[in-house]
Structure 1
Amino acid sequence: MTSAATAALQRSRQLHPLHVRRAAVSHVEQLGGRMRRITLGLEAGTPPIPWVRLAVGDHVKVAFPHPTTGELTLPTVVDDRPSLPEGAQRPVTRDYTVRGVHDADQTQQVTIDFVVHGTGPASTWASGARKGDVVGLLGPRGSMTEPADARRYVCLADETALPAVGRWLEEAPAGIPLEVVVQVPDATCLVPLPQRADARVTWLMDEEEGTLAESLRSLPPEPGDYVWAAGEAGTMVQVRRAAAELGVGGEALKPSALQVDGYWRRGVPGRDHHEPLES
């Protein structure tokens, strides 16, 4: 185990060229009451999705077919930027964590876990996805690798961040313990997670904005710990404030013992998770 005195807790960034890919559903699995695992086979000859160990937040933009016509219009790449034909309607896109990749039948298979709720374009598509259905995948534009030298990993998440939590449990270096706290609305949202001897997973079942922040205060972090949190933006603001009270903090893309990401915000469809938490 790395000592607190030697832990640098630095994240590293690796950029990737932009690719736009077509992918067809090859398998669908219901993981829990609101989560569907959908595996997508890339079109033959398509550049593979990059896979970087410990880049648990790697994500692609999933482009969905038009809900009425079923037509899928994808951009081409011009000067490393997406470009649509003049007059073409931009497809609806949403960001999703890449849960896993593997090769089968001479093509890369990409696994994405969708939380299905409400009637938004992503949830509607995912709830009815069948083998052969086609979507577009754009990116990832880069990979942010989490530090591999923590004394302990403290991971706080809601159900939208469960794919990244699964990656933490699979990819964290052996011998470094993980303390994982997951907040879900109720017991129907529980899903199986990877098992490891040095991890403790706690499920909390409520929808209060301050639940994960209180969990962080109750641990609390110690020198050398790395705190990673992702989920609803308002909840993440509370987590960041609690971390500051505990003396843990820093800017997200600089060496720090804290990384907080707001994947979504209540009442704001399609929020860009790159925006500041308060937005």
Structure 2
Amino acid sequence: MPDPVSLARGRQLHPLHVRHAVVREVTPLGGRMRRVTLRLGPETPPVPWVRLAVGDHVKVAFPHPTTGELTLPTVVDDRPHLPEGVERPVARDYTVRAVDDGPDGQDLALDFVVHGSGPASTWARDASPGNTVGLLGPRGSMTEPSGAARYLCLGDETAIPALGRWLEEAPATAPLEVVVQVPGPESVIDLPARDGATVTWLVGTGESDLADHLHGLDPPPGPGDYVWAAGEARAMVAVRRAAREHGIGADGESALHVDGYWRRGVAGRDHHAPLED
């Protein structure tokens, strides 16, 4: 059985940079998912890529919806700064899905769920080559543990980019079980293939679906397993409760990481905010 200490996450800090990026390509992935590949020029500091930091994210700042102007802060004492009276741009956090470093700069892939009429969804729906956005961060990387006996990774559509990274980056020495909840069968998309991994799709919108699936695993979650989950906040509370009922993460953060990316009915929820029971 792995040493429980090995199931703690690691942390690596990065200096803050504010970057301009230009849309190079837009690729439909199926369902409501769309990949936007951004080009950062060679003069721009590259976005760091850390293996097993599956939740690494950048804050994407969008042009003003009416004027089309993109106003970005400067960095002062490693903090973003805007002059007094300047309106802050609308920004949302997105997982760094992939990076490709080349002589002409870095390509950065971000996957969007296109739904409704929110600022990020509307921008992603209409994005085309040549459009410009701003990028802030990442401020740090949290690396997932490499010594688990089994990895149990659960999420909804918003977690698909991170789940894709799990399938590509998880240690080959342990089984990986990925569970994805989507609202309808049309949202089932291709994910990276991996030996020793299983991918289960749950179709529906129930808040307890992912937690119920975790309860029903055979064998159930146990010592040495690592549970990672991300998605709608209330559903994540249920997943966290289910994991702890099986003894996963009962001692705190070790062996369990649950992230509420969004909350139904709340615009722009800060996923760094604690999950509310």
Aligned 8 A contact 2:26 2:129 in 1 = yes
1:221 equivalenced with 2:221 (yes/no)? yes
Match of 1:83 among 68, 77, 81: 81
- In the TM superposition, residue 5 of structure 1 has moved relative to its aligned partner by 5.3
1:259 equivalent in structure 2: 257
- In the TM superposition, residue 238 of structure 1 has moved relative to its aligned partner by 0.5
Report the number of matched residues: 275
Give, in whole Å, the separation in 1 of the partners of 2:43 and 2:103. Answer: 12
| Residues 7 and 85 of structure 1: CA distance in aligned 2, closer, same or farther (over 3 Å) | closer
2:161 equivalent in structure 1: 163
The residue type equivalent to 1:233 in the other structure is A
Give, in whole Å, the separation in 1 of the partners of 2:250 and 2:64. Answer: 41
1:133 equivalent in structure 2: 131
- In the TM superposition, residue 88 of structure 1 has moved relative to its aligned partner by 1.3
Aligned 8 A contact 1:11 1:145 in 2 = yes
The Cα offsets for residues 61-118 of structure 1, whole Å up to 9 and x where unpaired, read as 0000000110000000000000112221100000000000002451000000000100
Write out aligned runs for 1:66-77 (5 A): 66-77=64-75
1:231 equivalent in structure 2: 231
CA RMSD across the alignment: 1.4
Match of 2:53 among 49, 52, 55: 55
| Residues 166 and 264 of structure 1: CA distance in aligned 2, closer, same or farther (over 3 Å) | same
Match of 1:114 among 109, 112, 115: 112
Q: Identity of counterpart residues, as a percentage?
A: 69
1:174 equivalenced with 2:172 (yes/no)? yes
Gapped runs of 5+ residues in structure 2? none
The Cα offsets for residues 20-46 of structure 1, whole Å up to 9 and x where unpaired, read as 000000010000120100000013411
Aligned 8 A contact 1:55 1:145 in 2 = yes
- In the TM superposition, residue 60 of structure 1 has moved relative to its aligned partner by 0.4
What SS does structure 2 have at the residue aligned with 1:137? Answer: strand
2:24 equivalent in structure 1: 26
| Residues 90 and 7 of structure 1: CA distance in aligned 2, closer, same or farther (over 3 Å) | closer
The Cα offsets for residues 195-229 of structure 1, whole Å up to 9 and x where unpaired, read as 01110000010000000000110112121010000
Aligned 8 A contact 1:153 1:179 in 2 = yes
1:46 equivalent in structure 2: 44
| Residues 6 and 78 of structure 1: CA distance in aligned 2, closer, same or farther (over 3 Å) | closer
Q: Which has the larger displacement, 147-156 or 168-177?
A: 168-177
2:101 equivalent in structure 1: 103
Give, in whole Å, the separation in 2 of the partners of 1:95 and 1:250. Answer: 29
Give, in whole Å, the separation in 2 of the partners of 1:261 and 1:36. Answer: 22
- In the TM superposition, residue 276 of structure 1 has moved relative to its aligned partner by 1.1
| Residues 13 and 5 of structure 1: CA distance in aligned 2, closer, same or farther (over 3 Å) | closer
1:243 equivalent in structure 2: 243
Q: Which has the larger displacement, 183-192 or 205-214?
A: 183-192
- In the TM superposition, residue 175 of structure 1 has moved relative to its aligned partner by 2.2
The residue type equivalent to 1:101 in the other structure is V
The Cα offsets for residues 116-138 of structure 1, whole Å up to 9 and x where unpaired, read as 10000000000000000000000
- In the TM superposition, residue 251 of structure 1 has moved relative to its aligned partner by 7.0
Give, in whole Å, the separation in 2 of the partners of 1:251 and 1:72. Answer: 45
What SS does structure 2 have at the residue aligned with 1:163? Answer: helix
Aligned 8 A contact 1:7 1:150 in 2 = no
Aligned 8 A contact 1:7 1:149 in 2 = no
Divergent runs of 4+, >2 A: 3-8
Aligned 8 A contact 1:7 1:224 in 2 = no
Q: Given the two structures, how large is their TM-score scaled by the length of structure 1?
A: 0.96
Q: Which has the larger displacement, 35-44 or 122-131?
A: 35-44
1:147 equivalent in structure 2: 145
Aligned 8 A contact 2:231 2:260 in 1 = yes
